[in-house]
Structure 1
């Protein structure tokens, strides 16, 4: 079923990649947030999201497709605040695996083009990767580096599929992943459950409370997040909180900064300012005024 989401930002369409797909079978572990300056983005490109098929939904959050046509118009520099996830992306004749960027992701869009990606759930890619997550996060990788010889085959298939018809690369990714889905993994299931909980409770919880609620020590949670995601649980919690802050500041009727700091559980406005600026590159006040983050 096709529907249009009404949140600020690029045009977003939800569509199942598989007629039998059921994204709701697994709790959401990432949001639709993270596009900085969404109003400008909406004028420059479209973004479509598709749910994964049942066979891979436990580890793939969604597929996404961006399209732009800037012929005769200036290039557009788009910045996003990445989620704690790995993305497998086909774009500009390149297939890459992108880990978690500690800072903003900056992309220059020019001419006419498209990109198709698979967004994995937090911690989901570690069982597939031959590269430790902390190293995967350091730079983009070719599929062969991460998935070995099978990755070379998939890369050729994705390059042949291209991005003109996104159903083709998505089908190739699904066909590759489905028989390679790992057996049930309690460590991953814990990390996935905690990430989903963080998404729901980012403004009202701490790592200590999450560890307690999920029956593990903070040390165990820290170790599992480092192994499976490549960053610690505190980093993920902060990222989700800044995502919410940026989204609310982009609303047609944004809250005051004091109110925002209170609503998101910051000790005071100074803490909001510091955390937001570290992630986004400008203060909340500057972002509210429309000042673009430094490219």
Structure 2
């Protein structure tokens, strides 16, 4: 079940668990943080006395501050799908920075965090330990969101106009499926291709080509989840691929199955 918050989660490969309870809620940050934070999220599950289940999500071009007992860290952009075995009872709280929104806190090229993580105390000092304790003691996502607001507002960095510029470009890629090349994005941004690549390296943590490819594959997954009949060649071309074979290779590499295999599995009860 998903409740509240700004929009539905995107890139979740399995929209339902086979059994047990699963909840995913989201909340918007304080208006003063809206330019830096996409949203807060909270996931909880109860599989006590039930078999463990695998949940998988596709990568996004966002840094995440994740709070979970024994696993709390700030995670850079990950290039592959995230796979997690859910068992017993548990919960996780996360801060999803906007694309580019972590750079003002970090002050270094975010690409250095790709496929790696950072101790939160590196950014938030001694406040990090107290933040984790308060989040883990929180009894609702609203209470946790208030704690997150307090932490981030206390450490609010100076304004950086490039954050809005970059986050707008990434949002454009996410929402406009006609953008299938770096050249086209650079043209829309009125930037040279090299300048665009440097901007993404520093602020996003992944190159524009990677971001475009991931969001086009997100689009493919969303269409398959919708259960509509699909012409694979037509879809591949619409998403910017030269041929169906290239699209299928990329899809299988990221999702772990071919589009047809994934669609068949999602249709199973």
TM-score normalised by the chain length of structure 1: 0.82
Measured after TM superposition, the shift of residue 60 of structure 1 is: 0.5
CA contact (8 A) 1:97 1:142 kept: yes
Q: Does 1:282 align with 2:263?
A: no
Q: Which of 4, 13, 25 does residue 3 from structure 2 map onto?
A: 13
* 1:16-37 per-position Cα deviation (integer Å, ceiling 9, x unaligned): xxxxxxx7xxxx9xx7311112
Supply the distance in 2 between the matched residues of 1:75 and 1:49 (Cα, whole angstroms). Answer: 24
CA contact (8 A) 2:36 2:163 kept: no
Equivalences for residues 1-295 of structure 1 within 5 A: 11-15=1-5, 32-40=9-17, 45-129=22-106, 132-145=109-122, 147=123, 150-162=124-136, 163-290=138-265
Supply the distance in 2 between the matched residues of 1:89 and 1:189 (Cα, whole angstroms). Answer: 23
TM-score normalised by the chain length of structure 2: 0.89
Bigger shift: residues 219-228 or 123-132: 123-132
More helix per residue: 2
CA contact (8 A) 2:46 2:90 kept: yes
CA contact (8 A) 2:67 2:135 kept: no
SS in 2 for 1:184: coil
SS in 1 for 2:33: coil
* 1:111-153 per-position Cα deviation (integer Å, ceiling 9, x unaligned): 11111111111111011026642232232222013x0xx3332
CA 1:89–1:219: 2 relative to 1, 3 Å: same
- Total equivalences in the alignment: 265
- Structure 1: stretches of 5+ with no match in the other structure: 1-10, 16-22
* 1:238-278 per-position Cα deviation (integer Å, ceiling 9, x unaligned): 11111111111122334232332243332221121122122
Supply the distance in 2 between the matched residues of 1:284 and 1:252 (Cα, whole angstroms). Answer: 12
In angstroms, what is the RMSD of aligned CA positions?
Answer: 2.3
Supply the distance in 1 between the matched residues of 2:18 and 2:150 (Cα, whole angstroms). Answer: 32
CA contact (8 A) 1:257 1:285 kept: no
SS in 1 for 2:34: coil
- Structure 2: stretches of 5+ with no match in the other structure: none
